[in-house]
Amino acid sequence: MQDMTLQDEWLSTILAKSTRQSYTMSMKYFLEFMGLSKCEDLKGLEKPETRALQFYQWLQDRKGLCSNSAVARVVAVQSFFSYVDRPLKLKHKLPQTHMKLETWNPSLEELQKIYSSGDICVKAWMSLSRDAPARISDMMRITPQQIQSGEFMILS
């Protein structure tokens, strides 16, 4: 670990490959936003919470990210600062990204469009993804063996 940079050390603590890739891109954006070249320069950053909020806005304005994607990029920055023992308190400062679907009241025409394509499996996945507190990528990794062992209960 002596030859590793601070960013490499931090990323080595993240187990999921896709999360590592996402966090790498997030830190690339954050360093671009800050005008810095390496994560070591972030350790002494003044007002990191304010910078994280400005970064959230910058991602939407300059990179064209939607609110949810921008929040996901800020989560990586939060993780980095937690790793260097400077946790950011952003819980109520960023918009909530979960449960947004519950505020959507689809019209009959919208429902007909959604359910007009695909077979029963597609319709089941759409219903399941609406009600299950999991990401689709997580649900796609469920194996038949896990279902048979009773690890997951899928009820209609």
pLDDT higher for 100 or 56?
A: 56
Which range has the worst mean pLDDT, 31-40, 67-76, 89-98? 89-98
Which range has the worst mean pLDDT, 24-28, 51-55, 85-89, 121-125? 121-125
Ordered by where they begin, the domains of the chain are 6-83 (1.10.150), 100-148 (no CATH)
Confidence (pLDDT) at 156:
46
What is the pTM for the complete model shown?
0.61
Mean pLDDT for the chain? 79
Q: Whole-angstrom Cα distance, residue 82 to residue 121?
A: 41
- Indicate the SS3 state at residue 37: coil
Q: Whole-angstrom Cα distance, residue 6 to residue 71?
A: 23
Q: Crossing angle of helices 48-62/67-83, nearest 10°?
A: 150
Confidence (pLDDT) at 127:
67
Confidence (pLDDT) at 103:
65
Q: What would the mean pLDDT of 25-38 be, rounded to a whole number?
A: 91
Structure tokens at 102: 């519950």
* pLDDT tens-digit series, residues 109-130: 877 777 777 777 776 766 666 6
- Indicate the SS3 state at residue 88: coil
Q: What would the mean pLDDT of 13-34 be, rounded to a whole number?
A: 89
